[in-house]
Chains A and B, each alone.
Chain A
């Protein structure tokens, strides 16, 4: 028989080649034979029963008309058995009828997912506490909850030959620059890869210089931050399976902004932004300057402090630069181990780290107290801007190597090279150092410092947005 049910079931099951692919055959009221094939781990059996099987069991019409009875709102085209096998893997349930050629696929997937909760990497004292999850639909729901605009455009892409990961590009049609969404889409689609386990893979695709020390996209786990950036004219990227959403284009000043800056008094926000910038600069440069001062220019240290430091380092077997490098490496090891270690041994290892490596090493005269203080303070400083930590820890190490070999002048030249590099970089036409270079006084109100609510009338001009005004104040006649 041309459309033998048994034959097609066997073919589809052979293509799927997984033991969790289930088949269920049943008869309709008219006596026609039907089969439903689904992946047990991902398909919602209750939905299959209610939306597909139950209506058909009561159906006494022709088998060809059976598809009209399926109550599932999301039916997909399925031309052949191969496509059917693919759709089963995606979580659809395939309906076959004896003697009928058409294959009906109903999207009944219900994968296991985490509840919406506060993101662990972006804690807010004030402001919303919802965070993205690994499910793209939940994330899009969180976005739609905040952006109830008909201009909100969501484009789906499928990336990954084997993972077929859904990637959504989110933008506001009347705000985002012309062609920006297309550029982002192109930069993603021109890559072929097996699997997209996380949004960081997509980040690499959209970056003009994927090997750069400085990242080229902003990331956030918070839907309020994401929506605010989309409203500025950026394109958001949501990746199924990753709670971290990306936005492009990116400017360096974004890392120094937090969501809370917009929920608190602007003076406090300005102060905190300056503090973050100061902390990052100190965190990167303090170990290097300490080494430089000891090796090349002791005048940098005041006299009384110099004597204390000299007393502390007297007898230390390592040179100042090697001592600092050693201490930094110990810190990095502690940092990495604290993230990886099981909770149950965490306490014991913390004690080991603090007491043995810190206190005992100082008492044994292997490292000096100022080195421990400086490294600890530097680490704390860098974590005031967690989004920038990946870059700043490496910069700190690089500065230390340059400081230990070339001194303060080496640091100045390194700073000049980094500034020259950053000033010349842009992604999607937006300079990385905007709004500092090129200087835009109006946009600076939301960069290094935070202006009040009514100073953020226009969107950042560096993004080349279509609709510049985002805030209008209507005068009331009170």
Chain B
């Protein structure tokens, strides 16, 4: 996978994809974990992620090399390949929970009967196809996904914000340390965006101020998640832990829907389109890492097929075992996330020698 991407497009990913993968079952999960204080662990996660994205974005101001080139330069080609293979597998790992949630979302939001697993084949067909595409194409996808995300989530929030009792969120600050700690640990694995920036390193032209833009975009995406969670809990109160898929259920009480039908589902389906592209980005990242690791850019088709096959196998294995997956995710999924999304970018900083490639930063536009 090769090509260039623009900072604007990465910002769009950090807003749209960042929020999309977290708004399926995460609000329900946090409502069960932390009750009315659900926004606090989410805010902590957002803050940590934003800081890590800021640090990774700052890395791009110091070098115009890719991560592979950086590792290769300091530690050798074998080390670079190893890092990239592990990183590729990590992206596949990150795709598992959102993919299983997407499967459940399809079941609940698109159909009213129990379906066979074969109905998921279109998802994998799309992941395979989109997974073959280049970084440049990933950027183009983001250009399309952001307006779709903004309009769909905006519509959902408009339809649901007025239907809630926001006193359900009280008391917000009065949370026990145990609940807060459990909530943060359980949700940290979802805040993994800094790793994606590592893939784009060296593939975009850094200009002064881009690090701030990237950081701000990540914060905006995170705050969109927090806002949606707050509205969801305001609408349902203590029942929120029993209601799955906030984006579909929060809007139910909007009175015009009685006469117009469930038009809010159109917004939810448009939102799901963004989720599909967010999942595809993981497969694209895997393909990119493996192509780079093995030095075979023309094998993108093969690696995309491998990634899709692995995901098919995982979904088959965890079929009907979502709660098991959720418990595992809440207990130890944060460990690889800390390693690859938080420590690896910091480690990459250590690999950079001096300032950015001997060149001055490009100022302005």
Summarize A's interface: helix, strand, loop or mixed.
helix
Set of chain B residues within 8 Å of A433, measured between Cβ atoms: 140, 144
Are B261 and A301 neighbours in the complex by a CB distance under 8 Å?
A: yes
Report A40 CB to chain B, min CB distance, Å.
58
Cβ of A120 < 8 Å from any Cβ of B? no
Cβ of B123 < 8 Å from any Cβ of A? yes
Report A457 CB to chain B, min CB distance, Å.
17
Cβ of B129 < 8 Å from any Cβ of A? yes
With both beta carbons as reference points, the residue of chain B lying nearest to A440 in the complex is identified as: B143
Report A71 CB to chain B, min CB distance, Å.
60
Q: Which residues of chain A from 397 to 456 have a CB within 8 Å of any chain B CB?
A: 406-417, 419-421, 423-424, 431, 433, 436-439
Cβ of A394 < 8 Å from any Cβ of B? no
Q: Which of A296, A305, A406 contacts B112 (CB 8 A)?
A: A296
With both beta carbons as reference points, the residue of chain A lying nearest to B272 in the complex is identified as: A412
C-alpha gap A401/B363 in the complex (Å): 52
Q: Which residues of chain B from 236 to 265 have a CB within 8 Å of any chain A CB?
A: 258-263, 265
Report A5 CB to chain B, min CB distance, Å.
66
Set of chain B residues within 8 Å of A438, measured between Cβ atoms: 6, 9, 139-140, 143
Are B122 and A439 neighbours in the complex by a CB distance under 8 Å?
A: no
Set of chain B residues within 8 Å of A300, measured between Cβ atoms: 261-263, 265
Are A415 and B273 neighbours in the complex by a CB distance under 8 Å?
A: yes
C-alpha gap A300/B110 in the complex (Å): 10
Are A423 and B144 neighbours in the complex by a CB distance under 8 Å?
A: yes
With both beta carbons as reference points, the residue of chain A lying nearest to B133 in the complex is identified as: A424
Are A299 and B261 neighbours in the complex by a CB distance under 8 Å?
A: yes
Are A437 and B122 neighbours in the complex by a CB distance under 8 Å?
A: no
Cβ of B276 < 8 Å from any Cβ of A? yes
On chain A, which size bracket covers the interface? 20 to 34
C-alpha gap A416/B144 in the complex (Å): 11
Cβ of B119 < 8 Å from any Cβ of A? yes
Set of chain A residues within 8 Å of B6, measured between Cβ atoms: 438
Cβ of B106 < 8 Å from any Cβ of A? yes
Cβ of A76 < 8 Å from any Cβ of B? no
Are A437 and B273 neighbours in the complex by a CB distance under 8 Å?
A: no
Set of chain B residues within 8 Å of A436, measured between Cβ atoms: 143-144
Cβ of B8 < 8 Å from any Cβ of A? yes
Q: Which of A407, A414, A431 contacts B111 (CB 8 A)?
A: A407
Set of chain B residues within 8 Å of A412, measured between Cβ atoms: 110, 269, 272-273, 276
Cβ of B330 < 8 Å from any Cβ of A? no
Are A409 and B273 neighbours in the complex by a CB distance under 8 Å?
A: no
Q: Which residues of chain B from 137 to 151 have a CB within 8 Å of any chain A CB?
A: 137, 139-141, 143-144
Chain B CB within 10 A, most for which of A407, A411, A414: A407
Are B140 and A437 neighbours in the complex by a CB distance under 8 Å?
A: yes
Report B6 CB to chain A, min CB distance, Å.
7
Set of chain B residues within 8 Å of A137, measured between Cβ atoms: none
C-alpha gap A423/B140 in the complex (Å): 6
Are B141 and A437 neighbours in the complex by a CB distance under 8 Å?
A: yes
Q: Which of B8, B106, B111, B129 contacts A439 (CB 8 A)?
A: B8
Report A319 CB to chain B, min CB distance, Å.
16
Are B110 and A420 neighbours in the complex by a CB distance under 8 Å?
A: no
Are B112 and A297 neighbours in the complex by a CB distance under 8 Å?
A: yes
Are A302 and B260 neighbours in the complex by a CB distance under 8 Å?
A: yes
Are A437 and B144 neighbours in the complex by a CB distance under 8 Å?
A: yes
Report A434 CB to chain B, min CB distance, Å.
9
Q: A296-B112, A413-B123 are in contact. Are A420 and B272 (CB under 8 A)?
A: no
Q: A300-B261, A420-B133 are in contact. Are A408 and B269 (CB under 8 A)?
A: yes
Are B277 and A416 neighbours in the complex by a CB distance under 8 Å?
A: yes
Chain A CB within 10 A, most for which of B6, B122, B133, B276: B122
Q: Which of B112, B119, B141, B272 contacts A298 (CB 8 A)?
A: B112
C-alpha gap A49/B262 in the complex (Å): 79
Report B311 CB to chain A, min CB distance, Å.
15
With both beta carbons as reference points, the residue of chain A lying nearest to B110 in the complex is identified as: A409
Q: Which residues of chain B from 106 to 120 have a CB within 8 Å of any chain A CB?
A: 106, 110-112, 119
Q: A299-B265, A438-B6 are in contact. Are A406 and B119 (CB under 8 A)?
A: yes
Chain A CB within 10 A, most for which of B9, B122, B140, B262: B140
B interface footprint on A280-305 (CB within 8 Å = 1, 0 otherwise): 00000000000000001111111101
Report A272 CB to chain B, min CB distance, Å.
20
Report A254 CB to chain B, min CB distance, Å.
18
Q: A413-B122, A413-B123 are in contact. Are A305 and B106 (CB under 8 A)?
A: no
With both beta carbons as reference points, the residue of chain B lying nearest to A435 in the complex is identified as: B143
Cβ of B125 < 8 Å from any Cβ of A? yes
Set of chain B residues within 8 Å of A302, measured between Cβ atoms: 258-261
Set of chain B residues within 8 Å of A417, measured between Cβ atoms: 125-126, 129-130
Set of chain A residues within 8 Å of B129, measured between Cβ atoms: 417, 420-421
Set of chain A residues within 8 Å of B46, measured between Cβ atoms: none
A interface footprint on B40-61 (CB within 8 Å = 1, 0 otherwise): 0000000000000000000000
With both beta carbons as reference points, the residue of chain B lying nearest to A417 in the complex is identified as: B126
With both beta carbons as reference points, the residue of chain A lying nearest to B139 in the complex is identified as: A438
C-alpha gap A410/B269 in the complex (Å): 11
Are A305 and B261 neighbours in the complex by a CB distance under 8 Å?
A: yes
Are A296 and B110 neighbours in the complex by a CB distance under 8 Å?
A: yes
Set of chain B residues within 8 Å of A407, measured between Cβ atoms: 110-111
Are A413 and B112 neighbours in the complex by a CB distance under 8 Å?
A: no
Set of chain A residues within 8 Å of B259, measured between Cβ atoms: 302
C-alpha gap A437/B138 in the complex (Å): 10
Are B262 and A299 neighbours in the complex by a CB distance under 8 Å?
A: yes
Are A413 and B126 neighbours in the complex by a CB distance under 8 Å?
A: yes
With both beta carbons as reference points, the residue of chain A lying nearest to B5 in the complex is identified as: A438
Report A302 CB to chain B, min CB distance, Å.
4
Set of chain A residues within 8 Å of B133, measured between Cβ atoms: 420, 424
Set of chain A residues within 8 Å of B134, measured between Cβ atoms: 424
Are A416 and B276 neighbours in the complex by a CB distance under 8 Å?
A: yes
With both beta carbons as reference points, the residue of chain B lying nearest to A448 in the complex is identified as: B147
Report B61 CB to chain A, min CB distance, Å.
23
C-alpha gap A414/B130 in the complex (Å): 12
Are B122 and A297 neighbours in the complex by a CB distance under 8 Å?
A: no
With both beta carbons as reference points, the residue of chain B lying nearest to A302 in the complex is identified as: B261
C-alpha gap A409/B130 in the complex (Å): 17
Set of chain B residues within 8 Å of A420, measured between Cβ atoms: 126, 129-130, 133, 137, 141, 277, 280
Set of chain B residues within 8 Å of A409, measured between Cβ atoms: 106, 110-111, 119, 122
Set of chain A residues within 8 Å of B277, measured between Cβ atoms: 416, 420
Are B137 and A423 neighbours in the complex by a CB distance under 8 Å?
A: yes
Report A410 CB to chain B, min CB distance, Å.
6
Report B27 CB to chain A, min CB distance, Å.
21
C-alpha gap A417/B140 in the complex (Å): 13
Set of chain B residues within 8 Å of A406, measured between Cβ atoms: 119, 122
Q: Which residues of chain B from 1 to 49 have a CB within 8 Å of any chain A CB?
A: 6, 8-9
Q: 10 new A-B pairs (CB below 8 Å) besides A297-B262, A419-B141, A424-B134?
A: A297-B111, A407-B110, A408-B110, A409-B122, A412-B269, A413-B123, A419-B273, A423-B144, A431-B140, A438-B139
Residues of A that sit less than 8 Å from B by CB: 296-303, 305-306, 406-417, 419-421, 423-424, 431, 433, 436-439
Q: Could you name 23 residue pairs across A and B whose Cβ atoms are closer than 8 Å?
A: A296-B110, A296-B111, A296-B112, A297-B262, A299-B262, A301-B261, A409-B111, A410-B122, A412-B272, A412-B273, A413-B126, A415-B273, A416-B276, A417-B126, A420-B130, A420-B137, A420-B277, A424-B137, A433-B144, A436-B143, A437-B140, A438-B9, A438-B143
The 3 closest A-B pairs by CB, nearest first: A302-B261, A423-B140, A437-B143
